Amino acid sequence: MEDLNRIEMPPLLFAHRGGKADAPENTIGAFKKALSNGSNGLESDAQFTKCGNVVLHHNRHFGSFFKRKAINRCELLNLPSSIPSLETFYSEIDGEYDFSVDVKDSRAVEEILKISKKCSFPLKKLWLCHPDIEKIAFWRNLDETVRLVNSTTLENLKEGPERRIANLREIGADAFNMHFSEWNEGLVSLCHRFQIRSFAWDVQEDRQLGWLFSIGIDGVFSDHVTKMTTSWEEYKNRRPKAS
């Protein structure tokens, strides 16, 4: 079974937006709670402010419908305290964990790297995600250590999955990320053949988690941290052993 060929062992269990089923998303409280609930990975979204700071927020805007403001037109000091800066995140969140960042504004990447180095966060545990493979190739030139993830869908792979995964290997990317429903054991095996990690997002149910673990997925993103960590522990106790 491809489970025995998993690159990441244990698999990375990313708390999506800090585990938004358990606490307000992308908040310091959510990230802390996710780690206390056993997650070995955190996930967030990077936006870029007018003053050149990186903040963790999913949408490009904040505020109520009639008072919405664009983050990239605001100074950091004018943002709500519930939206943490990347530097605040690193200063508040201690422990051993991998950190996946969905890069919403590609201008933020160099600053993400700069802040991560300044705060001594190991870049081998920092995963930068984006759908554009050309941007990912450019980011590899910025640093050879940071982890790079292509997040996309099968529909958008005009060249087909094998050619895409081969291309990811050629440009030095580390992982291929798709919706959980698009994965099968053959695609996971294809990734592993090219030494590319397989990541699945929007994994919310026990049966989805157990199935993905059984086909050798390397990382999952879920809103439900306790369900995710418990599912892995249960699967680990019954998983097939290497002969």
pLDDT in tens, 101-139: 999 999 999 999 999 999 999 999 999 999 999 999 999
| Number of domains observed in the structure of the chain | 1
Of the pLDDT bands very low, low, confident and very high (cuts 50, 70, 90), residue 25 is very high
84 assigned to some structural domain? no
Residue 66 burial (CB count, 10 A): 5
Higher pLDDT, 191 or 60: 191
55 assigned to some structural domain? no
For position 143, which CATH number holds?
3.20.20.190
Query: Does position 58 have pLDDT exceeding 90, yes or no?
Result: yes
71 assigned to some structural domain? no
**What per-residue confidence (pLDDT) applies to 66?**
72
Structural domain harbouring 192: 2-44+94-238
**What per-residue confidence (pLDDT) applies to 240?**
62
**What per-residue confidence (pLDDT) applies to 61?**
78
What is the mean predicted confidence (pLDDT) over 41-66?
A: 89
What Å distances lie between residue 109 and 31, 132, 138, 157, CA to CA? 21, 14, 10, 24
Higher pLDDT, 226 or 75: 226
Higher pLDDT, 195 or 71: 195
Of the pLDDT bands very low, low, confident and very high (cuts 50, 70, 90), residue 69 is confident
54 assigned to some structural domain? no
